[in-house]
Structure 1
């Protein structure tokens, strides 16, 4: 499998997992972050969100070199934190949504963790594919 395809699939899988974490916490009143509703302000529905996370995975696979994906867990945590920060800065700039750090501790923790999971899944799929290609 090509590295870019692995990134795309990792982004899609990670996006689904992230949505499940975010929406489960929202439905349980642990978090105020409603990812589906927020993203629906930009594009129609959760399907487009999954495609967007897939494109992020594809972009990561194109931009990050092999040396940074060897330790997929730490690289994924860093990527997830960067994605979380970019999302919140985007919310501040556009005014579309409240940054998650301003929505309470539950929202802050759940949304940060879901982004960290997204980052780890993306980098893991890229790292595993790269290892198989070089064997």
Structure 2
């Protein structure tokens, strides 16, 4: 699977959290997956697109106040593959209590399938 192959370099030594999630996209469409961030763990999100020519990923904290959910980390690349806090620079939740968050996967350009996976260590 291309997602696992990409994760070998982007999330070395990390373990997949849950199952990957995927969707069929048109340019501009998004798909969200809720996750739990816990203290002491470090996280990386990887994603691959097939037909999607620019895939964007964000890790966003969920708050009870609508519109006030801060982006914790995001990919800064262009292209069909994306990673958040990849290549050993994983995102560590800084507070002593866990938080609900979501991964937001967006097809910025192109159309087709895309999949993403959360990894932790």
Q: TM-score, normalised by structure 2?
A: 0.28
> Looking at CA atoms only, which structure, 1 or 2, has the larger radius of gyration?
1
TM-score, with length taken from structure 1 = 0.26
Higher strand share: 2
The structure with the greater share of residues assigned to helix is 1
